[in-house]
């Protein structure tokens, strides 16, 4: 007994002492300028609440025109902007499409202004000027001084509750604005309905219903003030209003507790002493006001802001400590900020009582798992979910269960494409759920019914009405006449089909394996051996004329051109190399990709990236080529992978607000960084193999959930030593430039020996 106790204490202490402060390397401000589309505000790992400042949304008009752009404000905040409109509770991280921005709160004092005002004149409304010098963005904590009204704004969160702390000056006219009209992607009648009840002078509950990227979406809330308000009211901006009670029996604009409409702003009035703090707890739920309140009461029981902040930051630190690296300060900042960004999506979608609203718009209970939402699968199947299979296997297991729940609740009987808050917006091509599912099950990270999951994959892949699948099943490709992205679709379906086959193989489902292995070769139908490019094909079987491999417009590709997409056969690089004329020709083609000069027209027509997101013709700012730098490993010139990967690590990720060359895409860009900086990458999720590259860390220790430790050591690590001379796994030289997932989970030690010259 004594001995066991001792060991137990020792282990606890060991874990405790082992944790080092890593959140200091997290700079949420990275990616908030230009293309990154990240947000600087507070959240906790995979948190349901993302409490972050809005510098603008498209919620107001100037001279009849919207003031901003949908695309620009995907995350609500642009580092370039000079004013803050307020702080809202839901944000997408790194996407290229907008939504959310629910429940915008802004503290003001002086004359009440219910209009947000315009960016060029912050005094024109409730918004405020601010300076980056007065702004602090940390993991789990955000602080900014609001200059116009001399108010300090601070925020932190638990999983489902945002906590605000506003330090006011002395004022008889202090206000908290709750703008229920505000939102991101706030046009086309986005606001469907809003309902609020003022329960008492510190508690408000209600919901907000929107049709945005998520078409049928309702978010319930409970909002609690630390101090009672002395007065409150609302303004309803609906052009057409519902019947409002019999002959105006109530003045519904002031101190009237039942509020409903489409476009509503509320205010709560206080008298404040100098430096008086007003705190707000703001809880969300997809199910009900009652659940939101229960979430609040369970997660944040009192008004100790510092305690909540500490808990938030401790939760970040615990997650970050799963990978400890030794590296330069700049690399550490890039690395831990990237790791932070990989821990944001998907987001927790169950209430503390296990309930959530399903895709059928009905309330369900997640039995034995946490239901997650925000699946940007076209992006995240590539490296984010594979990363989770190493350092978040339990969460990834629950994410699979969430995808299966989505499948069961879907009237279409499909696994998610881009799943969000009880909706699928079907964004991007492919059916990459199957990749995430196959990868996790093959790597042993699913405790559900694997055969049921395979069935779901097959049924999804046979949804003939979905984006050309029917034609694809008949012809083996999608005719260019039928789709503007016919080649992307065929290539991605073929890869996904291979994933299904791999899963079927593991489950010994031979008929499924045979069928989907056959489908996985369909990429060859778009491969033109005469040009060596993937090309759109017409229904008559000939290639579409006027082919331009550089163009991203009308050539059959999505977020990419043929130059990048022609390498998209992650399931069979060996065959692709052969089809492209063997190792030499293939290498030469890759070299060209990484070195070509792109014409200006390319940037004019290509979305989501800037010149910074490009190396030669290789587009790192979009995802389709993320595996391409690793393809040299299938040639005789694997050292070029090492060169290109190190180049990308250095060029595409910088510890500055504009440090991301493209959308972070819910963590996929960041997951690429984590893998590549550690020296390996999952070229084809669904396979247990990782291709080796060129690590940028000096060493790394990965603490696995199974208790094992995977250690990476880099000998002779220097800026110029980008080339791998030798790799030793558990004291044995590696015969190839690949390792296996089991090498990691078994708790291996991997040593890279680096040098300034290629090992040819």
464 binds its own copies (CB under 8 A): no
Which among 277, 281, 316 is positioned nearest to 301, based on CA atoms? 281
CB of 753 to its own copies, least distance (A): 46
Judge contact between 640 and 586, C-beta under 8 A.
Answer: no
CB of 197 to its own copies, least distance (A): 4
418 binds its own copies (CB under 8 A): yes
Q: Which is nearer to its own copies, 91 or 341 (CB)?
A: 91
Q: Which helix (H) or strand (E) holds 269?
A: strand 264-272
Stretch that binds its own copies, among 151-159, 174-182, 425-433, 541-549 (CB under 8 A): 425-433
96 binds its own copies (CB under 8 A): no
* Residue 163: Cβ within 10 Å count: 29
Q: Which is nearer to its own copies, 466 or 603 (CB)?
A: 466
CB of 469 to its own copies, least distance (A): 10
Stretch that binds its own copies, among 148-156, 237-245, 316-324, 499-507 (CB under 8 A): 237-245
List the interface residues with its own copies, window 105-164 (CB under 8 A).
Answer: none
* Residue 133: Cβ within 10 Å count: 6
323 binds its own copies (CB under 8 A): no
301 binds its own copies (CB under 8 A): no
**CA neighbours within 13 Å on the CB side: how many for 111?**
5
260 binds its own copies (CB under 8 A): yes
236 binds its own copies (CB under 8 A): no
Stretch that binds its own copies, among 117-125, 160-168, 198-206, 397-405 (CB under 8 A): 198-206
Which one of 2, 5, 17, 251 is in contact with its own copies (CB under 8 A)?
Answer: 251
215 binds its own copies (CB under 8 A): yes
Q: Which helix (H) or strand (E) holds 61?
A: strand 61-62
As a whole number of angstroms, the distance between CA 283 and CA 206 comes to: 11
CB of 422 to its own copies, least distance (A): 10
Phi and psi torsions of 615, nearest 5°:
-125, 110
How many residues bind its own copies (CB under 8 A)? The answer is 57
Which one of 425, 656, 708, 725 is in contact with its own copies (CB under 8 A)?
Answer: 425
Which one of 188, 302, 511, 731 is in contact with its own copies (CB under 8 A)?
Answer: 188
86: left (phi over 0), alpha (psi -120 to 50) or beta: left
Which one of 77, 142, 207, 340 is in contact with its own copies (CB under 8 A)?
Answer: 207
630 binds its own copies (CB under 8 A): no
Residue 730, helix vs strand vs coil: coil
212 binds its own copies (CB under 8 A): yes
467 binds its own copies (CB under 8 A): yes
Q: Which is nearer to its own copies, 157 or 289 (CB)?
A: 289
242 binds its own copies (CB under 8 A): yes
195 binds its own copies (CB under 8 A): yes
Stretch that binds its own copies, among 223-231, 251-259, 499-507, 749-757 (CB under 8 A): 251-259
Stretch that binds its own copies, among 11-19, 264-272, 288-296, 631-639 (CB under 8 A): 288-296
- All residues at 6 or more sequence positions from 661 whose CB lies less than 8 Å from its CB, including other chains: 35, 609, 610, 612, 613, 614, 620, 621, 651, 652, 653
Stretch that binds its own copies, among 193-201, 505-513, 581-589, 633-641 (CB under 8 A): 193-201
CB of 95 to its own copies, least distance (A): 13
CB of 192 to its own copies, least distance (A): 5
Give the start-end residues of each E strand in 466-548: 527-528, 533-534
Q: Work out the angle at residue 703's Cα, subtended by the Cα atoms of residues 701 and 704, and round it to the nearest 5 degrees.
A: 135
Judge contact between 425 and 214, C-beta under 8 A.
Answer: yes
422: left (phi over 0), alpha (psi -120 to 50) or beta: left
Judge contact between 395 and 343, C-beta under 8 A.
Answer: no
Which one of 256, 303, 543, 603 is in contact with its own copies (CB under 8 A)?
Answer: 256
408 binds its own copies (CB under 8 A): no
CB of 242 to its own copies, least distance (A): 4
Judge contact between 135 and 290, C-beta under 8 A.
Answer: no
Dihedral sign for Cα 411, 415, 419, 422, please.
Answer: positive
Q: Which helix (H) or strand (E) holds 292?
A: helix 289-299
CB of 290 to its own copies, least distance (A): 6
718 binds its own copies (CB under 8 A): no
CB of 627 to its own copies, least distance (A): 23
β-pair type (749-755, 709-715): parallel
Which one of 67, 115, 226, 255 is in contact with its own copies (CB under 8 A)?
Answer: 255
Phi and psi torsions of 410, nearest 5°:
-80, 130
60: left (phi over 0), alpha (psi -120 to 50) or beta: beta
Maximum Cα–Cα distance across the chain = 87
CB of 234 to its own copies, least distance (A): 13
CB of 359 to its own copies, least distance (A): 8
289 binds its own copies (CB under 8 A): yes
66 binds its own copies (CB under 8 A): no
Q: Which is nearer to its own copies, 244 or 720 (CB)?
A: 244
CB of 536 to its own copies, least distance (A): 16
Q: Which is nearer to its own copies, 253 or 726 (CB)?
A: 253
CB of 212 to its own copies, least distance (A): 6
343: left (phi over 0), alpha (psi -120 to 50) or beta: alpha
Stretch that binds its own copies, among 52-60, 339-347, 464-472, 751-759 (CB under 8 A): 464-472
As a whole number of angstroms, the distance between CA 606 and CA 614 comes to: 11
192 binds its own copies (CB under 8 A): yes
CB of 188 to its own copies, least distance (A): 5
Q: Which is nearer to its own copies, 288 or 525 (CB)?
A: 288
518 binds its own copies (CB under 8 A): no
What's the start-to-end Cα distance of the chain, in Å? Answer: 58
Binding mask 356-395 toward its own copies (x if CB under 8 A, else -) reads ----xxxx--------------------------------
Which among 2, 252, 40, 271 is positioned nearest to 137, based on CA atoms? 40
213 binds its own copies (CB under 8 A): yes
As a whole number of angstroms, the distance between CA 611 and CA 618 comes to: 11
Q: Which helix (H) or strand (E) holds 474?
A: helix 469-475
675 binds its own copies (CB under 8 A): no
159 CB-contact burial (10 Å; exposed 0-12 / middle 13-18 / buried 19+): buried
Which ranges constitute the DSSP H helices of 507-638? 510-520, 562-565, 573-579, 582-595, 600-605
CB of 390 to its own copies, least distance (A): 30
Stretch that binds its own copies, among 225-233, 257-265, 530-538, 712-720 (CB under 8 A): 257-265
| DSSP secondary structure, 112-179, as one string | ---S--BTTBGGGSS-EE--GGGEEEETTEEEEEETTTTEEEEEEE-SSEEEEEEEE-SEEEEEEEEE
As a whole number of angstroms, the distance between CA 557 and CA 715 comes to: 42
User: Which residues are at the interface with its own copies (CB under 8 A)?
Assistant: 185, 188-190, 192-193, 195, 197-199, 205, 207, 209, 211-213, 215-216, 238, 240-247, 249-251, 255-258, 260, 262, 288-290, 360-363, 410-412, 417-418, 425-428, 465-467, 484-485
């Amino acid at each position: 007994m004594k001995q066991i106790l001792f060991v137990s204490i020792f282990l606890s202490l060991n874990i405790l002492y082992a944790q080092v402060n890593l959140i200091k390397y997290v700079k949420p401000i990275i990616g908030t300028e230009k293309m990154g589309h990240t947000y600087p505000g507070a959240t906790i790992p995979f948190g349901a609440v993302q409490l972050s400042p809005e510098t603008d949304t498209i919620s107001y008009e100037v001279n009849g025109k919207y003031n901003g752009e949908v695309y620009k404000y995907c995350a609500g905040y642009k580092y370039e902007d000079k004013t803050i409109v307020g702080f809202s509770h839901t944000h997408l991280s790194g996407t290229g499409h907008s939504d959310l921005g629910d429940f915008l709160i802004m503290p003001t004092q002086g004359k009440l202004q219910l209009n947000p005002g315009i960016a060029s004149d912050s005094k024109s409304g409730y918004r405020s000027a601010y300076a980056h010098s007065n702004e602090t963005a940390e993991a789990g904590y955000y602080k900014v001084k609001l200059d116009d009204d001399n108010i300090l704004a601070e925020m932190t969160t638990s999983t489902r509750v945002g906590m605000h702390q506003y330090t006011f000056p002395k004022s008889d006219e202090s206000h908290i604005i709750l703008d229920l009209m505000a939102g991101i992607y706030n046009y086309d009648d986005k606001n469907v309905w809003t309902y609020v009840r003022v329960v008492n002078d510190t508690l408000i509950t209600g919901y907000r219903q929107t049709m945005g990227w998520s078409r049928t979406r309702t978010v319930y809330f409970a909002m609690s003030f630390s101090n009672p308000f002395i007065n409150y009211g609302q303004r309803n901006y609906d052009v057409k209003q519902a019947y409002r009670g019999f002959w105006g029996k109530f003045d519904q604009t002031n101190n009237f507790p039942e509020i409903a409409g489409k476009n509503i702003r509320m205010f709560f009035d206080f008298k404040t002493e100098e430096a008086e703090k007003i705190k707000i707890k703001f809880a969300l739920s997809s199910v009900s006001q009652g659940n939101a309140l229960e979430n609040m009461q369970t997660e944040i029981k009192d008004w100790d802001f510092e305690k909540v902040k500490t808990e938030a930051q401790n939760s970040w630190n615990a997650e970050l400590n799963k990978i400890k690296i030794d590296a330069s300060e700049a690399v550490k900042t890039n690395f831990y900020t990237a790791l932070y960004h990989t821990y944001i999506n998907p987001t927790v979608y169950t209430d503390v009582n296990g309930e959530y609203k399903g895709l059928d718009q009905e309330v369900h209970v997640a039995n034995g798992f946490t239901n997650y939402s925000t699946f940007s699968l076209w992006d995240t199947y590539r490296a984010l979910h594979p990363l989770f299979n190493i350092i978040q296997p339990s969460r990834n297991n629950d994410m699979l269960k969430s995808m299966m729940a989505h499948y069961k609740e879907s009237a279409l009987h499909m696994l998610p494409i881009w799943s969000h808050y009880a909706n699928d917006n079907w964004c991007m091509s492919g059916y990459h759920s199957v990749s995430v599912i196959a990868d996790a099950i093959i790597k042993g990270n699913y405790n559900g019914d694997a055969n049921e999951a395979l069935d779901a994959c097959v049924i999804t892949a046979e949804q003939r009405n979905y984006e050309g699948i029917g034609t694809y099943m008949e012809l083996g490709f999608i005719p260019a006449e039928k789709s503007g992205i016919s080649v992307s679709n065929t290539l991605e379906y073929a890869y996904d089909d291979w994933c299904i086959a791999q899963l079927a193989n593991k489950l010994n489902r031979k008929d499924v394996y045979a069928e989907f292995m056959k489908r996985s070769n369909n990429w060859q139908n778009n491969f033109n051996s005469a040009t060596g490019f993937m090309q759109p094909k017409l229904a008559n079987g000939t290639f579409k004329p006027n082919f331009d491999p550089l163009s991203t417009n009308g050539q059959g590709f999505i977020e990419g051109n043929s130059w990048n997409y022609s390498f998209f056969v992650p399931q069979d690089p060996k065959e692709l190399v052969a089809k492209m004329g063997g190792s030499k020709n293939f290498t030469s083609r890759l070299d060209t990709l990484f070195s070509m000069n792109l014409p200006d027209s390319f940037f004019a027509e290509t979305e989501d990236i800037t010149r910074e997101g490009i190396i030669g013709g290789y587009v790192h700012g979009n995802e389709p080529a993320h595996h391409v730098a690793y393809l040299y490993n299938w040639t005789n010139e694997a050292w070029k992978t090492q060169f290109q990967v190190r180049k990308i690590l250095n060029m595409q990720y910088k510890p500055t607000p504009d440090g991301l060359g493209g959308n972070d895409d819910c963590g996929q860009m960041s997951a690429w960084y984590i893998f590549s900086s550690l020296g390996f990458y999952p070229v084809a999720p669904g396979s247990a193999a990782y291709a080796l590259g060129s690590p940028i860390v000096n060493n790394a220790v990965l603490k696995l959930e199974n208790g094992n430790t995977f250690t990476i050591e880099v000998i002779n690590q220097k800026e110029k030593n980008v080339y791998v001379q030798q790799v030793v796994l558990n004291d044995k030289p590696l015969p190839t430039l690949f390792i296996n997932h089991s090498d990691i989970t078994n708790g291996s030690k991997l040593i890279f020996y680096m040098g300034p010259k290629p090992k040819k």
